[in-house]
Structure 1
């Protein structure tokens, strides 16, 4: 009897394992941007000072939708409406240290990134509502800071949404976002 129960348990376990399937590949791949840019390669540095200099200070996690011959701004994304800055999950920024954004001191931590685009400028908002899908749960009362910047035109089409972080000047990092032919840069002051 024990052998029969053991065989039944093995058969049922095997069929359960086979029933579990992986999710299909998403069209919009997830990506990350870091400041400093080479933060993920710090383990390869032999010198401790170099490793310390490459410790990540800011990380952005986002999905990279494609243009796919669409007019992105003004059509796919309506002007004046909240945009999740990507696809799928809400785009998230992580500050490993306190920063200043939009003239406000922001505590180290995770924040959702929301942009309100217009034809000439974008307003980026940092929001405390985390782990959402898109901006469906966006609640403006949870915004902690915002900054509005002019947009510029790219010389070439940016097929996939792209985000980078770079040092614009001493203690100032720019969060650069580009898609289609539109680019905007948001200043972040390091403490």
Structure 2
């Protein structure tokens, strides 16, 4: 009986300790109004931690899940136009293909773990935008909804795309 009690106590202790472990790329959520539509983005925030991010940790020319740990999910409360491209109300995977002079923004039907199972055939829309520079170094990846745009910032890079009701 004492052994069973001791095993139960040890199991509970380790379970409690496991809960205290902090994720290296914690979850975050960006919610805001853009063009009369509520936009919600669920993602995980990786940090630079002294590493070269764009063109290094995040290679140019490869599909990126636009965050860490899981595919970034983007949800629209109504039909929208993203940089003029129609997208129906709903929840989608947000992928990107970073480039030094141009980024491809991908809205995809799949919301799975990572970009490993990404299938271009499930793209709802793809469009390109030009990256800009941040005013200061951004250590931790951040997505915001501001000025009718979804804005991605990390390291010294800022990428934004317009959202309008559609």
User: Which aligned pairs between 1:13-28 and structure 2 lie closer than 5 A?
Assistant: 20-21=15-16, 22-23=18-19, 24-28=21-25
Q: Given the two structures, how large is their TM-score scaled by the length of structure 1? A: 0.75
Larger radius of gyration: 1
Match of 2:121 in 1: 141
Q: Pick the structure with more helix per residue.
A: 1
Q: Using a 3 Å threshold, how does the CA distance of structure 1 residues 118 and 18 change in structure 2: closer, same or farther? A: same
Q: Aligned equivalents of 1:184 and 1:118: distance in 2?
A: 11
Work out which structure has the larger RCO, using CA pairs closer than 8 Å and 6 or more positions apart in sequence. Answer: 2
Aligned with residue 152 of structure 2, among 170, 174, 177: 177
Match of 1:76 in 2: 57
Aligned with residue 30 of structure 1, among 18, 27, 30: 27
- The offset of 1:82, in angstroms, is 0.5
Gaps of 5+ in 1: 1-6, 38-54, 168-172
1:187 matches 2:159 = no
> Could you report, residue by residue, the CA deviation over 1:68-103 in whole angstroms, capped at 9, with x for unpaired residues?
111101111111001111100110101111111243
Number of corresponding residues: 161
- Calculate the aligned-residue CA RMSD, in Å: 2.5
Gaps of 5+ in 2: none
Q: Given the two structures, how large is their TM-score scaled by the length of structure 2? A: 0.86
Tell me, what secondary structure is at the counterpart of 2:53? coil
